[in-house]
């Protein structure tokens, strides 16, 4: 999609620090990390702006995103982590290409908000 930062990352038009890539999903380090480990996992295709647009036609790639989260956290030795997806500006979403934040490397047990 034109003017989508994450589509540009997928296309290699904007640099990123990738930690994983396959035919459908890419994972890269967040440029403004909120934890020692802060990775964004996205479908390569702009299948949805956010979680509110998940449906039967795009659910398979979203399931694959979670398989990738399980794989990369194991490979990177991140045992305890949080997965977050902000949906809508009021929830803090700034990039309207569905993505899942993986946060770890520090104690996340105290607050969730
Ligand atoms: P959200 O605010 O939930 O939409 O998350 C968007 C995330 O994308 C933020 O945590 C940003 O720091 C991150 N971000 C924006 N631009 C880039 C970029 N070029 N490379 C890596 N992460 C980015
Ligand atoms: Zn996009």
Task: Kindly report the pTM of this predicted structure.
Answer: 0.98
Annotated active-site residue 46? The verdict is: no
Angle made by CA atoms 54, 69, 42, in degrees to the nearest 5: 45
Other beta carbons less than 10 A from residue 79's beta carbon: 9
Q: Which residue ranges have their beta carbon within 6 Å of ligand 1? A: 5, 14, 16, 30-32, 40, 86, 92-95
Each residue's pLDDT tens digit, 2-32: 899 999 999 999 999 999 999 999 999 999 9
Residues 6+ away with beta carbon under 8 Å from 16: 9, 28, 29, 31
Each residue's pLDDT tens digit, 43-87: 999 999 999 999 999 999 999 999 999 999 999 999 999 999 999
């Amino acid at each position: 999609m034109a003017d989508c930062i994450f589509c540009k990352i997928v296309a290699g038009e904007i640099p990123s620090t990738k930690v994983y890539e396959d035919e459908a999903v890419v994972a890269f380090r967040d440029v403004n990390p909120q934890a020692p480990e802060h990775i964004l996992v996205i479908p390569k295709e702009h299948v949805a702006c956010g979680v509110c647009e998940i449906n039967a036609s795009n659910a398979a790639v979203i399931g694959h995103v979670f398989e990738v989260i399980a794989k990369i956290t194991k490979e990177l030795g991140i045992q305890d982590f949080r997965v977050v997806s902000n949906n809508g500006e009021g929830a803090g979403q700034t990039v309207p290409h569905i993505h899942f934040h993986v946060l770890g490397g520090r104690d996340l047990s105290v607050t969730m908000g």
